[in-house]
A and B are shown apart, each in its own frame.
Chain A
Amino acid sequence: MPRDSLITSESDIDVGLELAGDEDEFSSHPEEHERERHRGKRREGDREKKKRGHGKRRKASRSREREEEVQARPDKRERERRRRAKSDRETGGRQRDEEGKAKIKSGKVAKTKKNITNEKTKKQEEEEESEDRNAKGKKKHGSAKKEEKQEDGGRHREKEKTKEVKKKKHKKVVETSSEQETSEQEDNGEEDNEEKEVRPESLTPEELERLKEAVDDRKKLIQVLRGKPWPMKKKLVTLRESQQFVEKYEGALGKGKGRKLYVYKVMMTKKWMKFQRDFENFRTACIPWEMKIKEIESHFGSSVASYFIFLRWMYGINMILFGLTFGLVMVPEALMGRPYGSIPRKTVPRAEEASAMDFAVLWDFGGYAQYSVLFYGYYNNQRAIGWLKFRMPLSYFLVGVGTVAYSYMVVIRTMARNANESGVGDDNSFNFSWKVFTSWDYLIGNPETADNKFASITTSFKEAILEEQESCKDDNIHLTRFLRVLANFLVLCCLAGSGYLIYFVVRRSQKFALDGLENHTWWERNEVNMVMSLLGMFCPMLFDVISALENYHPRVALQWQLGRIFALFLGNLYTFIIALMDEINLKREEENIVKFNITTWEASFYNGTVSENSTGLPFTVQPADVPRGPCWETMVGQEFVRLIISDTMTTYITLLIGDFLRAVFVRFLNHCWCWDLEAGFPSYSEFDVSGNVLGLIFNQGMIWMGAFYAPCLPALNVLRLHVSMYLQCWAVMCCNVPQERVFKASGSNNFYMAMLLVILFLSTLPAIYTIVTIPPSFDCGPFSGKKRMFDVIQETLESDFPAWFSKVFSYASNPGLVLPFILLMILAIYYLQSTSKSYKEANVELKKKLQTQNEENKKKNKRAALKAQMDLEEARKAAEQQQNNKASLQDQEADVEENHGSSQSLSHGKNGRNPPPHVRDQELPATRAPVPRTYHHGNHGTPGHLPGFPRQSEHRMYRVPSLQRH
């Protein structure tokens, strides 16, 4: 009451005050709730007393009643039903009410009001009932009353039993059950006052239905209970009673078998949920190097971390490639194929035997390493090996194809997913707010991590600020444009120069090769490699310097830089491939000579008998002594392996010298040097994201190119990446400094992927070219003796599949069928592309619409706020005027008016924010367990609304009537 009046009198003056009042209410609300509950109990006690009093009278009149009971039963039944329906309706309304204002408001007003209304409703209901039975006598009226009492009592007992007094939300269910009980009691005779278990058999289907509904309601409540912003006490009570209720009546629903099944089902869902949660935890725990990367991210920002994430992703892919080649090619050959030394291709030739175990030779992947499962040449062309009849050549071919196919699939899928992520989420609409409110990781419990997190949050804010400034900045467009054009020109010059240099060097080396390598110096022999790595080292630096001219946003600058280095590396790679092709052609010429020699050698050996199969030699000749071809496939594989090794070494050595030694030098010589090393010239190095990413990508390209000829390449790469991960993590943490211009790299992820895709395509091209056009060597590898490598498919189709299959296949490979199919595919691609384009357009359109709507809303709200302010102003003026009037009136008739006024304000206070009393009367039932009835406009139940913080619109709603009254 006091608060209520306070609010009504002040609400027209200031919203803020009202808010404060509400908040007070909120903070004190639990106590009040408690109080209310006590009050409820007390009232209940009162009722019990009353009932007892009535009980005496009841006993006296019972016999008489029973006589009448018989006649009145049908009537009563009907009445009963009607009442039940009505009470259901009422509870529904009440529930809604409750939903709206689950919070309890200042008690006294509510209580007094409630008492009044209770009485009123009681009277009303009595009237109703008397109307119902106009024809019946007064006695019947009395008995009806009594019955009502009894029902009340029944309800009461029920409540005591289940301890469900405190919650009125579930009143409905309680009531249904109690009513059932009463009806049962009626049937069984009224003096039965003992507690009774509900027997499911005795329930009618509709009652059962209702019970079921109630149980479902309870269950739903239990599920959502956790989401209710109530204090724990309230939750506890609600939960306990709901659970008890469910437990009690659930059994009644399912009988016999069904019940067991039901229990089982419930149990299983619980278990399944738990399992899912555990599995999720397990999965997150299984991500490798997560902590390391997080640590780096916290220190160096997301761009450096993105490199490591990319590295991890690559590692995963290489693991799978490694699994494929290792499990399906290397292991079967090693276990089931012919052992080492059994045939010429599996033996080190006599001439090399002496040095085959030397480290220098092994390091170059010659000697024993060359004649092992690591390289193409070792594999036999036997169609099926071992007791498993493993089709080795087929497996070799399919693994080669599968490696490439899998890589394509993974890269494209990742790209699509990234595009999805960046396409759908409207990332930038709440950029700063999200950063402010969601960046803290509430899991952190370790001081060091917390420090890291602080650092990373600060970094991310700086990134965001930088980006924001970047977007705001537009100074002298002409100058920047000119500078950018200039920079691109310079870069093009660089690229052209390096391309010419490589071309020149390669031509020179070819000349040297024709002369014979022995006549030349070390530099002349290794010129191509050296020039390539030198270019790879210095050109990026040059590009970096040039890109300073362009004045791009760091992210854009990074992309440009990446593109340029990409072009450079690509040039290098292709010159390498061209050189390799030349070498292959040389080897093939050599092979022809060797082939001829072998035939003559064999002819001499067999005295003129020509054997067409060189592997089927008589055992008198040692396999090591058999002359053999150069085997260009193994040579290619060796080249790639060497390249990978040297590349890895270069990376590691640059890392050690360029980063580690530099850091050591700067750190420890700083205090005995003439200038400040840390701030001045050498300083610490920054982590070069673009260079490292490109190195990784090109490395991967080489793996894809060479994996067909050297099955060991994926294994090597896995090793390399594994070591890289640890080494680079360590190097970054110990000798690099964070970049000065930190930026977020999430946008460039797909850029990496795109480059990877390009590289994948470019690296599969030469591999496919060699597989398709160059015939395999005649005496080494799984495809020896065939015209082309893919003949193995044909062979398998002919010998391993039924005849009809190969027929079908030959029909299917008919150009008449293939061409339309390709056409169809192109059409499908075109169709899909155009639909995706239109979707994208629609998406953009919708986004635009949403944005405009948002803006409009903002404007509207602003206008509304303004208007409300105006209203307020007016109202205040009006109030002032009224007061003035009042004052003048008071001057005239002081004492009379004073009394009147006070009473009026009192009534205002009572009704302040409540609907008029007569409205409530209809809602309020006559006989109702004592429940705290409150009227409060703060809505607890509506999801997403803060408890105790009423919405503004509601203020307005309530404020208006109070304004008018004044």
Chain B
Amino acid sequence: MNCRSEVLEVSVEGRQVEEAMLAVLHTVLLHRSTGKFHYKKEGTYSIGTVGTQDVDCDFIDFTYVRVSSEELDRALRKVVGEFRDALRSSGGDGLGQMSLEFYQKKKSRWPFSDECIPWEVWTVKVHVVALATEQERQICREKVGEKLCEKIINIVEVMNRHEYLPKMPTQSEVDNVFDTGLRDVQPYLYKISFQITDALGSSVTTTMRRLIKDTLAL
């Protein structure tokens, strides 16, 4: 089974990075989350409900919808904040990318650790621009809002392709497919990573380092 890969690109001002990334990541997770599963003794399970919440952006003329889960929002804000800080301190061209990877766990025998098999990867490439005048910033607010609308529609179209999704697991397998650690919702297992591209060489180094680390994860 091949891993699906989707790439989105956005050009934003520095102060818009956080909101733009949260908008995209939350939109993807909205479509990749279900209610909490509750298994019953008879071999059946029930599914809780997923609430939604509108979020207005302060620096972009945009409102997006996210899953109504404070835990999930906190987790995403934490990693997006790290990405924003890394981007800011890189001092380079302002290029970076975040990857949201959905994976399944495959149990391995001792002494090997569980294998993580990705089935969908969303990559958001960010290009930070510096604007000089207030008028340019105002135009940027609107343009970035429009661009994010396009990205949301692209995401929805990908979701509507009804391609591979992991099968609904039994109770013993649910932790291999879903993140059951949240109290209110249950997204598919995911991990988020980022890298800053300040020069071509360093991005390759970062990627290789991460690849080797993941492969040898022991």
Do A and B truly interact?
no
